[in-house]
C-alpha cells in the first residue's frame, strides 16, 4: 500500500508548487483589501454621523466658527450658521463648471459685508449656463439693504480638496474655485474663512438663484462594509478550493495505486497531473498488448 509520502509527493511538482505560491500570495492580499474596506467604512460612517449632526444643529453666528483669514475645521463642515449684513453686489463672482440637475452652470458667489466691516462669501445658489460658452447667464440681483442669511458653513476650496484644476485667463468676474484666500486679495475688507451655502434669507429676495441641494449623506460606508466582508469570504474560497484540489488529486492517486495492486490485473501507467488536469489514459499499444494476452 502507498504511504502518505508516496500519495502526497505530487505536491512538490512544479505545477503544484506554483499553485501554492499563488494561494499564499492571494490570502494576505485579500486580508489587506478587507482591512482597507473596513477602514473606509469606519471613516465614512464617522463623517456621515458628523455631517448629519451638523445639519440638524441649532444655528450659530458664523463668526463663532471662523475668523478673517482663518479656516473652517472639518468638524464644523455643514454646520448651520447665520450672518447679518449687506451684499456687495459689485464684487459678485460666478463659479464656473458647477453641475446641478444634470446641467452645467454657475454658482453665484456674493460677499456679505457685516456691521464690523468684515465680509463672508455667500453662495446664493445655482444658475444655468448661457446659450453659448461665452454668453453670460441670467443672474438675479442680490437683495439691497441689510439682510440676515442662514446657510451651511463650508471650507474654502482648493485644487487638492475639490479635484478642480484652477487656471488663469478666465472671463472677468468668473472663478473656478471658491478659494477664500485668493478671492480676499481682490477685496478692500477682510474675509472670514470658508463660505456660507445659502439656505434661507430674511427678508426674502424677490428673485434668487436655484438653491444648492442639501448634501447627500449617503449610506455611511455601508458598501465598504459589504466589500470588506466579501474580500474576507474570498479567503475562505481560496483556502477551500486549494484543499479540495489537493484531496481530489490524492484520491485519484490512491485509486490508481489500488487498481494497480489487484492480482491478475496489469498496472495502468499514469503520470501525476497538475491541479484540475485529467488523468492520463493507457496508450493504444498497451490496449493491443492486453488483447493479445
pLDDT at 10: 79
pLDDT along the chain (293 residues), means of 10: 60 84 88 84 71 88 94 92 97 95 94 96 95 82 96 94 86 94 94 96 94 78 76 88 85 78 57 52 47 42
Q: Are 197 and 123 in contact (CB under 8 A)?
A: yes
pLDDT at 242: 86
pLDDT at 293: 42
List, in sequence order, every residue forming a beta bridge with 128; answer none if it has no partner.
Answer: 105
The rounded distance, in Å, linking the Cα atoms of 267 and 272 is 15
Q: Considering only CA atoms, which of 194, 165, 170 is closest in space to residue 180?
A: 194
Cell 463650508 identifies what position? 154
List, in sequence order, every residue forming a beta bridge with 174; answer none if it has no partner.
Answer: 94
Q: What are phi and psi of 172, to 5 degrees?
A: -60, 135
pTM score > 0.85 for this model? no
pLDDT at 264: 56
Q: Are 111 and 85 in contact (CB under 8 A)?
A: no
- Measured over all CA atoms, what is the biggest interatomic distance in the chain, rounded to whole angstroms? 115
pLDDT at 5: 55
pLDDT at 35: 86
Q: Are 193 and 158 in contact (CB under 8 A)?
A: no
Which DSSP state fits 133?
T
Query: Is the bond preceding 203 in cis, omega lying within 30 degrees of 0?
Result: yes
The rounded distance, in Å, linking the Cα atoms of 34 and 227 is 7
Amino acid at each position: 500500500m502507498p504511504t502518505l509520502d508516496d500519495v502526497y509527493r505530487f505536491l512538490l511538482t512544479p505545477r503544484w508548487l506554483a499553485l501554492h505560491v499563488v494561494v499564499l500570495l492571494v490570502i494576505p492580499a485579500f486580508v489587506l483589501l478587507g482591512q482597507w474596506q473596513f477602514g473606509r467604512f469606519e471613516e465614512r460612517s464617522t463623517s456621515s454621523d458628523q455631517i448629519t449632526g451638523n445639519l440638524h444643529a441649532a444655528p450659530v453666528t458664523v463668526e463663532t466658527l471662523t475668523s478673517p483669514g482663518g479656516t473652517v475645521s472639518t468638524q464644523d463642515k455643514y454646520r448651520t450658521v447665520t450672518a447679518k449684513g449687506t451684499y456687495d453686489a459689485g464684487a459678485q463672482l460666478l463659479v464656473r463648471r458647477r453641475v446641478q440637475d444634470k446641467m452645467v452652470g454657475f454658482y453665484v458667489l456674493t460677499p456679505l459685508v457685516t456691521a464690523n466691516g468684515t465680509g463672508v462669501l455667500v453662495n446664493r445658489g445655482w444658475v444655468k449656463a448661457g446659450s453659448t460658452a461665452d454668453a453670460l447667464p441670467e443672474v438675479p440681483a442680490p437683495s439691497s439693504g441689510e439682510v440676515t442669511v442662514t446657510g451651511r458653513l463650508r471650507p474654502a476650496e482648493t485644487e487638492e480638496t475639490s479635484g478642480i484644476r484652477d487656471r488663469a485667463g478666465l472671463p472677468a468676474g468668473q472663478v473656478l474655485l471658491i478659494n477664500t484666500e485668493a478671492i480676499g486679495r481682490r477685496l478692500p475688507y477682510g474675509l472670514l474663512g470658508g463660505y456660507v451655502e445659502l439656505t434661507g434669507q430674511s427678508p426674502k429676495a424677490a428673485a434668487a438663484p436655484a438653491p444648492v441641494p442639501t448634501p447627500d449623506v449617503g449610506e455611511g460606508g455601508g458598501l465598504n462594509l459589504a466589500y470588506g466582508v466579501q474580500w474576507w469570504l474570498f479567503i475562505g474560497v481560496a483556502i477551500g478550493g486549494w484543499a479540495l484540489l489537493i484531496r481530489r488529486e490524492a484520491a485519484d492517486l490512491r485509486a490508481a495505486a489500488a487498481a494497480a495492486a489487484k492480482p491478475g490485473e496489469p498496472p495502468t501507467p499514469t503520470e501525476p497531473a497538475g491541479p484540475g488536469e485529467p488523468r492520463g489514459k493507457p496508450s493504444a499499444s498497451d490496449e493491443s498488448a492486453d488483447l493479445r494476452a
